[in-house]
Amino acid sequence: MHLFYTPLLTDTTVVLPEEESKHAIKVLRLTKGDFVSLVDGKGGFYKAVIEQDNPKKCSLRLVEAQKAFNYRPFNIHIAVTPTKNIDRIEWFLEKATEIGVNQISFLLCERSERKQVNLERLEKVVVSAMKQSVKAYKPAVNDIIPFKDFIRTVQPDQTYIAHLEAHERTSLHQLNLHDSACVLIGPEGDFTPGEIELAYEKGIKPVTLGQSRLRTETAALVACHTLNLLYEMKIA
């Protein structure tokens, strides 16, 4: 199955973006009359037929539409501090998209080793993973934001901070979740005591991801996977 991402679907005739058009015609060698599948990143899954096999503006006609494809009645948000080696964060984005995540935010913390991210590049990683795993919803990827500013934007009773300090913490897999959950993952050196206290003051609860000391991107993926399992058991 050839699957393409087309975020601007407003009619029964669709023109693929130039990059997708080139891939369809030049790489996959699709031609007029061939059938393909489309996703819009908002839950729409479509079947279409190629009408003009132009490698810059491949035109298609929709023949079948399915809304809310594989809709999930819960929301998973992972807020993670980007690592110095951006490849590790790209790996996390790819795998989290495959597993299932609604939103990914990047935190600027006191011990951060990376202070900016290339959103355009990270969006491409997410889109590729979305297509590979046949998902119709594209996770939102948010630009980096200072930790103290980010925690002002969340619902405290739905937000959890995973840290390594010797505080009383609840295992993530033991939580009784709402229909939305956000987990904060710190940098390689962990959140500072001041950041942890600031989170507590906002009503954010501490959690542990297990006994192992995990890399930042591994911790973020474990949190994503654990939340998915909890929600799937809840709605089963």
Which domains, ranges and CATH numbers included, belong to the chain? 3-66 (2.40.240.20), 75-235 (3.40.1280.10)
Residue 186: what residue type? G
Mean predicted lDDT score pLDDT of the chain: 94
What pLDDT score was predicted for residue 13?
Answer: 87
3 state DSSP class of 193: helix
Could you tell me which of 188, 222, 206, 227 has the C-alpha nearest to residue 82?
Answer: 188
Nearest to 77 by CA among 51, 104, 113, 38: 104
> What percentage of the chain exceeds 70 in pLDDT?
100
Tokens encoding 203: 């009503």
Q: What length does the chain have?
A: 236
Look up residue 216 and give its two tokens.
């930042």
In the numeric block, which tokens belong to residue 206? 């501490």
Alpha-carbon distance 99 to 175, whole Å? 20
Cα 97 from Cα 112, distance rounded (Å): 24
Question: What angle, rounded to 10 degrees, do the helices at 119-132 and 86-99 form?
Answer: 40
Q: For residue 9, what pLDDT is reported?
A: 81
Name the band, by pLDDT with cuts 50, 70 and 90, for residue 236. Answer: low
Amino acid residing at 220: A
Of the given ranges (79-88, 112-121, 179-188, 227-236), which has the lowest mean pLDDT?
Answer: 227-236
pLDDT in tens, 1-32: 799 998 888 778 889 988 899 999 999 999 99
Residue 82 phi/psi, 5-degree rounding, is: -65, 140
In this structure, the strands spanning 13-15 and 59-66 are antiparallel
